Amino acid sequence: MDDAQIVERIDALVREEHQLERSHTDQPLDAEEQERLRHLEEQLDLAWDLLRRRRARRAAGGNPDEVELRPSDVVERYRQ
């Protein structure tokens, strides 16, 4: 997956996240929707992590294609 594909993935995830949130402006999300929102947020974190690491590898003169997707339990433990 190249940078453009990752950005497209991020855009799609953000669109779905916003659509889910907008569809419930005056009522809470049910359990299934809350789980979907959590999953979307996790997938966004993974995609952003991958994109940042690819850009850093490129800036350091390395091959960004050598950067692999990290497991979600690693990325989710980062401090924001």
List, for residues 1-49, the tens digit of each pLDDT value: 899 999 999 999 999 999 998 887 788 889 999 999 999 999 999 999 9
**Residue 68 scores a pLDDT above 60:** yes
User: What total number of domains does the chain contain?
Assistant: 1
In a domain, 60, yes or no: yes
Domain hosting residue 71, numbered range: 3-75
In a domain, 80, yes or no: no
pTM for the whole thing?
0.86
Higher model confidence: residue 75 or residue 49? 49
In a domain, 58, yes or no: yes
Taking each helix axis as running N to C, give the angle between helix 3-22 and helix 31-59, from 0 to 180 degrees, rounded to the nearest 10: 160
DSSP-based helix, strand, coil % in the chain, nearest 5:
70, 0, 30
Torsion sign over Cα 8, 12, 17, 19: positive
In a domain, 48, yes or no: yes
In a domain, 32, yes or no: yes
Amino acid sitting at position 72: S
In a domain, 57, yes or no: yes
| 58-65, Cβ contacts within 8 angstroms, sequence gap of 24 or more | 64/3, 65/2
